[in-house]
Structure 1
């Protein structure tokens, strides 16, 4: 494989916007270059996702130029099998690279390992429409770990998986992912999709998730409006 399929990126983005209650992503012109999500977060007002950076480097150059010229703070997220080439393109456009080594990962959720949270932690699962929120609570009641997963068709997109620093190395990440996978399968999902930080890659790999591509994330400087 010399590229990551654009359809896989689209499927992940469909679920990611649902997980975060964001509007449906918009197509970036020329058609097929990428998709744009209005995140409306301080320092991350808009995010553009490249769909075919590996098969058409010119498409990435167009997206990078548009991000560099944006008047809102805009991020550019690029799944790729050629991160060195991608970094050269975004550098040439004047973008600031934020993350170089995130991973796009997938798994068969029906075969996901099962792990219960160790005592004395307790699990809380709450499903709101297509999104399931899982939290693991310490005896004091504080949230020791949390995460969410959004089901869209046969896919489930895991997002915002976090373990509090004071509760790490106690198997909570494994218990969290187990609970999310179980909830997604109960809603008809089969394929899990996520973008993993460097910190999460070892955990997900140990649970059977597979690396499909690197992900490079860059940011353009906002250009203030004139007048």
Structure 2
């Protein structure tokens, strides 16, 4: 991280520290130690250090159909793609969203509900997002659990992600 990067992180952390409401600071960085030091020096607490910024060329991500008994529904509204994987009864087993800005698709809120896990639904969601999004590049912040799935689908880590807030705030799981 360049010196000006440390100053930028410290400046942002100072802004968050002065907020009256709970405010999160999310910092992608290739130097997590230096970034964490700048955040903590500004009076914030780093709550998460395990998330990763990941990317892929969407056309190169493998395609995956849902398993028997499930179907995928995709819809594009404005520049947002929403995908749901539904079971036979029409209940949501998994879902995800991708916002598109130019050539970039930013995946968010990729989720498989507990009763439907370990069936390949996450792969089906990511496949459907990649197919439906009018984007070339995919970006996302991956949780520890999600990193394994995304790596299997060809996503690569480009930075660590630190999440911080004011003292006394806990990170929602």
After TM superposition, the score normalised by the length of structure 2 is 0.90
Q: In structure 2, what is the equivalent of residue 21 of structure 1?
A: none
CA distance in 2, matches of 1:54, 1:115: 44
> What pairs up with 1:64-83 in 2 under 5 angstroms?
64-83=13-32
Q: In structure 1, what is the equivalent of residue 140 of structure 2?
A: 194
Runs of 4+ more than 4 Å apart: none
1:179 partnered with 2:125 = no
Where in structure 2 are there 5+ consecutive unaligned residues? 169-173
Higher relative contact order (CA 8 A, sep 6+): 2
> What pairs up with 1:41-80 in 2 under 5 angstroms?
55-80=4-29
The offset of 1:136, in angstroms, is: 0.6
Q: Cα 1:215–1:125, aligned 2, differ >3 Å: closer, same or farther?
A: same
CA distance in 2, matches of 1:54, 1:138: 51
Q: CA RMSD, aligned part only?
A: 1.7
> What pairs up with 1:5-20 in 2 under 5 angstroms?
none
Out of 137, 152, 158, the residue aligned to residue 206 of structure 1 is: 152
Q: In structure 1, what is the equivalent of residue 83 of structure 2?
A: 134
1:218 partnered with 2:167 = no
CA distance in 1, matches of 2:31, 2:154: 23
CA distance in 1, matches of 2:122, 2:78: 24
After TM superposition, the score normalised by the length of structure 1 is 0.70
> What pairs up with 1:28-177 in 2 under 5 angstroms?
55-177=4-126
Deviations for 1:3-26, whole angstroms, at most 9, x for unmatched residues?
5xxxxxxxxxxxxxxxxxxxxxxx
